[in-house]
Amino acid sequence: MLVGREGTRRVVTAVSRPAEQAGLRVGMPLTKAHALLPDILTLPADPAADAAALERLSLWALQHYAPIVAPDPPDGLVIDTTGADHLHGGEALMLSGLVNRLGASGIIARAAVADTWGAAFAAARFLADPVRVIPPGSAVESVSPLPIHGLRIPPEIVAGLHVLGFSTIGDLLAVPRAPLVLRFGPLLGRRLDQLEGIVREPVDPLRDPERIVARKGFGEPIGAPETIARYTTALVHDLCLALEKRGLGARRLDLIFHRVDNSLQAIRIGTARPVRDEKRLARLLCDRIETIEPGFGIEVMELSATLAEPLVLQQAATSLIEEAPADIAGLVDVIANRIGAARLYRIAPVESDVPERSFQRVAPLAPDAGATWQGQWPRPARLLARPEPIEVMALLPDHPPASFTWRGVRRLVKRADGPERVFGEWWKRDGERAAVRDYFQVEDAVGERFWLFRSGDEVQAAGGLGRWFLHGIFA
Amino acid sequence: MSSAAARAVLAGLRDRIRQFDGRAVRDRAVLPFGVPEIDERLPGGGLVLASLHEVCGGGNDAVQGAAAMLFAAGIAARTRGQVLWCLTRPDLFAPALAQAGLAPGRVLYVEAGDEKSLLLCFEEGLRHGGLGAVVAEVARLSMTASRRLQLAAEAGGTLGLAVRRFRSRAEADAFTLPSAAVTRWRVSVRPSVPLPVPGVGRARWLLELTRCRAGEAAEFEVEASDAEGRIAFSPRLADRPAAAGAWRGSASA
């Protein structure tokens, strides 16, 4: 339990989960809390340290997630995901990744995405479990049944509204705005408008004082894509000069557009290795200009290197020795920024006899260990995501099937090879202590080849019992 | 006019036609199959490197595309440099590519969410110029899209292989629609030659060259890609030399 001061009273400002179950609430006087739980551990609240920690967390989110991030005291972060969610595989994946990473460092977080800051605020606190994506256009319906605490209004107004019988946001949206504003002040009306998206609410982005920034203001707002591209190139040039002075290369660049109507638009790009090549960076940024909505025009463009790392220049080998392999880092960056870095990968072998565990995805520019799969047994070109059960006719227990039926088609087996026995990984998983698969490669009458296996434990395998599955298709 | 002079004139005229076509000398580099029977049917003696080629599976394989994929992997394995492999359905089993000669360190996979971004990545890879080959498993390939890809392949000097993977047997008829690809292949599986012992022999394919720019359609019966991505010619049973026929007779007895 944390205790803070409110005027002359000492009140509870935060409680742990067990204490909450015991009936303690935030805002309760300290004496009452002590009466409920006499031996509770109380610590003084330190709002300044909390704010500093929140700012550190915002900086981390800025470097890893999106270009526009701001702390939302006392306990929130607001992130404008525009132009950045595709790098994390979409909004839902981005949110769950964020919550999981925070959870790993001991922070229990809830997150939501919605059209407006107000809707996302309410959804994150009352709907998210632990994440929630509210589809565009349905923000108001989704948050209507939520309590009015989700409106970012001071507790006195909440109490006053309760007295009048309002309990949900939907109740407030249904009544005329003017009498409410007359009674509770303009803040309530503004919050409701912001929630609905009638009034814009710009996020004042957090800035890292150490990061390298290039900025350009325009006397006359710009809007044409060609103009944006031209100034982007100019900004990249300035930024690269600044990076060169410090011997750095950019890993993550944010281009923020300040629009005339006081809202922000952003582009974020990431690179697999530190880059200081003007052409490449400009190309990556210009690729994404189409996602920018200039509205009535753009006043200021701001390019910053959110993440920069020391750039080690390598001497190119002379062509006298041998032709160096072409550098594909540029291509990797272009594709990763278009469709997301997780969708671009290499496949590396893993020491495992179980086919579906014999490979893993690695980063596209991971050093090549030169390893490949061991063994001479042929492997199918297509591996089904999960083995599909088939019906078979087998003549002898230890023989391949004489015919099998897969997806409603019966096929006669003309030729077969096998069995190749694969044991379960009992040294890793207890459940596979007795698991055995016998793989057969079979060819049917027209020459199509399939990879079948019989699954069971060793006793079943010896007796030819066990169920049959189709796992892959050869050519 | 002597025949040598006539040949010189013809060569000069061919060069001029190529110039009209807007293709540089570099673009005429080819990748031979190493099988004379196939290479002599292809203009230039092999697959033109800086261009787009289309491969489709026949029969049931039109949907699965396993044979077509291995055929493309065999071709890509014989190029130099990295290979970009674009797909939408991640059911490709990488060890099979390694067995067709494409070491895991050479292949970079792109898993595009839809056909549109797949084509974008395909084009980007072709245009980059530093890759050995770009393979993409596409369902639809319109004339416009294939023209773009062909131009990108010419600009980057990279071999492009479009493995057509139809979503249904009915859709496979679309393979007859025109596209800008230089060659078009259909790979169908054939029953393999019985071995003298129980077991499965090397897979055999019927390779149909259904379209070839400046060449004629043809079909070949071949043995599937080996560990270095090479296919081998297997003569049709009717044309088989007597000795081979005798071996076969004893093998199946």
Q: Which residues of A touch B96 (CB under 8 A)?
A: 378-381, 474
A329 within a domain of the structure (yes/no): no
Q: Are both A244 and A181 inside the same structural domain?
A: no
Q: Do B203 and A474 touch (CB under 8 A)?
A: yes
Q: Are both A19 and A84 inside the same structural domain?
A: no
Q: Do A326 and B99 touch (CB under 8 A)?
A: no
Find the CB nearest B124 among A331, A370, A445: A331
Q: Are both A156 and A112 inside the same structural domain?
A: yes
A436 within a domain of the structure (yes/no): yes
The pLDDT of residue B21 is: 61
Q: Which residues of A touch B190 (CB under 8 A)?
A: 447
Q: Are both A156 and A272 inside the same structural domain?
A: no
- Rounded Cα distance between A384 and A342, Å, is 21
A331 touches B at CB < 8 Å: yes
Q: Where exactly are the structural domains of chain B?
A: 24-191+200-252
Q: Do A443 and B192 touch (CB under 8 A)?
A: yes
Q: Are both A53 and A41 inside the same structural domain?
A: no
Min mean pLDDT across A48-52, A214-218, A363-367, B115-119 is at A363-367
Total domains in the fold of chain A: 4
Nearest CA in chain A to B73: A381
A·B CB contacts under 8 A: 160
A205 touches B at CB < 8 Å: no
Tokens of A48: 């300044």
Q: Are both A119 and A33 inside the same structural domain?
A: no
Q: Are both A122 and A41 inside the same structural domain?
A: no
Q: Do B66 and A364 touch (CB under 8 A)?
A: no
Residue A287 belongs to domain with CATH number = 3.30.1490.100
Whether residue A397 is preceded by a cis peptide bond, meaning omega within 30 degrees of 0, is: no
A443 touches B at CB < 8 Å: yes
What are the φ and ψ backbone dihedral angles of A423, each rounded to 5 degrees? -90, 150
Token pair 């750039």 in the structure block, residue:
A311
Q: Do A338 and B117 touch (CB under 8 A)?
A: yes
Q: Do B200 and A443 touch (CB under 8 A)?
A: yes
Of A310, A345, A365, the residue that ends a domain is: A310
Query: Is the pLDDT score of A241 beyond 60?
Result: yes
Tokens of A401: 């099937």
A392 within a domain of the structure (yes/no): yes
CA angle A130, A135, A136 (to 5 degrees): 135
Nearest CA in chain A to B101: A372
Of A259, A294, A310, the residue that ends a domain is: A310
The pLDDT of residue A7 is: 67
Q: Are both A113 and A239 inside the same structural domain?
A: no
CA angle B114, B117, B121 (to 5 degrees): 130
Of A147, A168, A196, the residue that ends a domain is: A196
Host domain of residue A19? 2-45
Contact, A275 vs A333, CB < 8 A? yes
A98 within a domain of the structure (yes/no): yes
Min mean pLDDT across A131-135, A408-412, A415-419, B172-176 is at B172-176
A412 touches B at CB < 8 Å: no
Q: Are both A162 and A238 inside the same structural domain?
A: no
If contacts are CB pairs under 8 Å, which of residues 115-154 in chain B contact chain A? 117, 120-121, 124-125, 128-131
- A231: confidence class by pLDDT, cuts 50, 70, 90: very high
Query: Which percentage of chain A shows pLDDT scores above 90?
Result: 4
- B57: confidence class by pLDDT, cuts 50, 70, 90: confident
Min mean pLDDT across A15-24, B83-92, B124-133 is at A15-24
Distance (Å) from the alpha carbon of B13 to chain A's nearest alpha carbon: 35
- B55: confidence class by pLDDT, cuts 50, 70, 90: very high
Contact, A35 vs A171, CB < 8 A? no
B86 touches A at CB < 8 Å: no
Helices (H), ranges, B29-139: 36-39, 61-64, 66-77, 94-99, 115-128
Give per-residue pLDDT as tens, A174-203: 888 888 888 888 888 888 888 888 887 878
CATH of domain B24-191+200-252: 3.40.50.300
A442 touches B at CB < 8 Å: yes
The pLDDT of residue B238 is: 40
Q: B46 vs A358, B37, B42, B49, B212, CA distance in Å?
A: 36, 11, 5, 9, 11
The pLDDT of residue A323 is: 57
The pLDDT of residue B244 is: 41
Q: Are both A189 and A57 inside the same structural domain?
A: yes
A346 touches B at CB < 8 Å: yes
Q: Are both A70 and A159 inside the same structural domain?
A: yes
The pLDDT of residue B123 is: 92
Distance (Å) from the alpha carbon of A104 to chain B's nearest alpha carbon: 28
- A419: confidence class by pLDDT, cuts 50, 70, 90: confident
Give per-residue pLDDT as tens, A304-343: 888 888 877 666 555 555 555 667 888 888 888 888 888 8
The pLDDT of residue B246 is: 39
Query: Is the pLDDT score of B26 beyond 60?
Result: no
Q: Are both A80 and A152 inside the same structural domain?
A: yes
Distance (Å) from the alpha carbon of A30 to chain B's nearest alpha carbon: 55
Q: Which residues of B touch A359 (CB under 8 A)?
A: 94-95, 104
Q: Which residues of B touch A443 (CB under 8 A)?
A: 191-192, 200
A205 within a domain of the structure (yes/no): no
Q: Do A359 and B95 touch (CB under 8 A)?
A: yes
Could you give the ipTM of this predicted complex?
0.81
Query: Is the pLDDT score of A400 beyond 90?
Result: no
Q: Do A328 and B131 touch (CB under 8 A)?
A: yes
What are the φ and ψ backbone dihedral angles of B80, each rounded to 5 degrees? -105, 140
